[in-house]
Structure 1
Amino acid sequence: MLRIEEAAGVRRSPRGMTKTAAGSDRGAEAERSAGPRAPRPGPVPFLHRLSTKLLGVTAILALAALVALWAADRRLGRALVGEVERSSALLGEALRTTTRDAMLADGPEHAYDVLARIAALEGIDRVRVLDARGRVAFSTVAAERGTVVAKDEAPCAGCHAGRAEPVSRAPADARGRTEVGPRGRRYAMVTPLYNDRACATAACHVHPPGRQVLGLLEIGVSLERVDSGVSAFRVGAAPLLAAGIVLIAVLLYLLGRAEVLGPVAALLEGMRRVSRDELDVEVRVRSRGEMGALAGSFNEMTSSLRALEDALNGVLANLEHEVEARTAELRSAQDQLVRTEKLSALGKLSASVAHEINNPLAGILTFAKLVSRTLAEGPPDDARRAVLQKNLALVEREAQRCSAIVRNLLDFARERPIQRKRVDVNAAIDEALSLIANQVAIQEIALVRELAPLPPVLADFGQLRQAFVNVAMNACEAMGKGGRLAITSRTRDGAVEIAIADTGPGIPPERLGHIFDPFFTTKEKGTGLGLSVVYGIVQRHGGTVTVDSAVGAGTTFVLRLPADQDADTTGPGQAA
């Protein structure tokens, strides 16, 4: 049993080592007979691996968490600065209200003294007062007193910059700004000093009622505590949070690798082994969840496949025995059928020989008795002698007929050894046509020869000549008087082809498949052995015979013989 652990460890049990050679041979033979298989999946590319995707997802999650941590840090800094902004705005309003009575009663010196005492408090970096023309009327920084601030510069830019007329009331976020001072960053909040009715009617310094803003009160609050708090967060809490995020990402990756990647890799290796017909596979997954259940289902599947394989091997073994038994029975039945066919052929042969020889023998016997009776009556005169000579000629003719029947029968039944030599097929055709020239002339048949230069063939010249004579004579007898006999020779695909075509009545389709059968003939005086002899001669020479016939259009026999590959194909061969 192959046990595939999550780490892809493999062990083989005795069952996997003891498969019989016959079973392996049967499996290989079945695999070959099953045709081409689909290609087995190769190794998964790196970018498509589940481990790569899990690592990428974990890295993306960790990066997203770190970006969120950075965003939280920035948000914390903005939130703290916002609290300072709101506190500064509230402090400015409180100072404006507190110093209002002092400005009305005692003059600005008392208000400036109050502002100086407030500026000495912890966290207040600077306090200054600007009049309507932008001149610094009071500042906790002595060097700034009496200087003039342009309208497009801080702190006047919130109301004047980019505008033809200044706004009368600007929101708090437009009046505050963050700047760098001598002691670090600070947040400067500008509070407008409005010209109310009491201020316009005061005896100390009367301002025109139409003026809306008399000046500005600017308070600079140090951001040292905010910056130290953010720095403490970044130095203390942020690294711990980042380390926690990375640790969680690593734990998630390890958990995914243990619960997903390991089982998937083991199952994939198991599937690959099963695809290689290694059914002795068991996947061990250390998981009690879905992956463990999947591994259990896979092991049940391989167990079922092993059981089916064992049952199939048993069926195949029994089938082999049954096939052997059936084959023996078929062989016995075939032998019996061959013997029956031989007896049937022998019976047909005997009947045909008896029928063909009986008629000429009866004629020979009749004329022999007649000649004997005539001679017994005395010496014949000239008239009787002429009759006797005619009868003896008939006896001779019938005897020759019997001899021809016996000779054809012997040629069919007895395969004479082939004396192979290099043969010029065209020469054999010429001799065959010379032998039937008298028959062709008597029947007034038009003879057409189209003999091309042929390579020699290794054959028996006499047997080839006999085959050509038999086919040509069969064509002449089929045409009767008149007609056309065409003999063509050519080379095709390294072989020699001889086509013998006639313009006879043709052969019906139902008889075309039996023309080479022994004793099959449609002629009154035929024995049915001529074409059988031709077929046997061509087969013994390693060739083929094909027939193309149409009723009323004639018949064409094509004899195909292998050419001598070692001979020069540019010239004809030599006759034996």
Structure 2
Amino acid sequence: QMGLAVTLGQVEDARETVYEKSLRETARGIEEDLWARVTFSDHLRGVRLVSSGGLVVLQAGEEVPPDIHPPAGQATLDLSRERLLVVLPLYVQTRRWGTAYLLMDRGVLGRVTTEITWTLDGGLLVLGLLLLLLLGSWLLWWGSLLKALRRDVVAPVVALARRMEGWAREEKPVEQPDVGEPEWLGQAFDRLLVRMEEQKEQLLTAQRLGLMERIGAGLSHELNNALNPARLRLEEMALEGRTPTREDLNKLREYLKAAQAILRDLSMAGRRSLGPSGVLRPGEWLFVAKRLLEPHFEGGPRLEWEVSEEWPVLTGDQQALIQVAMNLMLNARDAALQRGDGGEVRVSLAEEAGGVVLKVEDNGPGVPQEVAAHLFEPFVTSKETGTGLGLFVVDALLRRMGASIRLEPREGGGTRAVALFPRRPEGEEEDHGA
């Protein structure tokens, strides 16, 4: 076969010729694009692109001086009052290709800068106005909200507080003092809390008096039983005209001691104010309540008693404990009487892991579910007749002694009241044991 005889140098020359031709065509296309951009630009007057090796130099528009460069660290250079030279590096696919020299019209550039500044200033002004409008709207909304709050919440509460100033006294409500309304309102509520506590004390006293009135008839019967034999013996001695013998005096002393015990129990149960707490045996409070209520259990229901007179002991107020026991036993009695057979009431006192537990249970009809959750609130009752204060007072008295109470259904029907008293400190137990 026939072939062309060429040397390696001829191949390299041919390749370089092709590369230069392709490079010239690419440069010509770029120059045309640069001329178009310079022609239609408002501020660009000339462009000069130089590759890193100086092999490619592209020029469009006004001639850019080739040997002028900005000072080190700067990208601009003032050439005259009308022209500004900007020098920027050129990158192609993240690699440095060369340098771009841009010849700018200072006048047009200044006008553009002014326009941009005015545009920014106008934008900031509009933004400021919008913020002012939003702030005004927010203030108006909060103002209307505070006005509504004052009208619908604060004003009624202030009016209520003013009325509270005249509670429990037949006098006109006091005028608002010369202080800020929030401060005056706080003072009024402080006085209201004090007055509510006073009203609570009056309520406890009223319920205690009602309890005394309820057991009064039974105690009257017991006193008659204790004193009538003494009266009859005295009348007998008077009719016979004889001098009292030692036997007569011993009998009279027994009758008077029985009456004295009844009056002592009644005095402990009816003491007007709560006294200091002390370590008490069951005989000093629970048995007192039992003796006071025995007349109410004579005709039923049966009273099952699982309590020792000496143990367990607990710390509390004697009068309050007597009132708690009497209220719980009377509630259980009233519930048990609703059975046809008279019913049963069971009272127990025992020491458990959490402290001392008093249980008073009955086999009555039980408490309706819708009422059970509210029985410790004032004036709530499941009875047809009743004030609804008994369990409320019991709960209040127990809380003062650090105790608690709950109601639970009893197996086989009925209700169980469980009062839990906290365990006494070790020191108190040792003192009592000594």
Q: Do these two structures clear the TM 0.5 threshold for a shared fold by scoring above it?
A: no
Larger radius of gyration: 1
TM (norm. structure 1) is: 0.35
Higher relative contact order (CA 8 A, sep 6+): 1
TM (norm. structure 2) is: 0.43
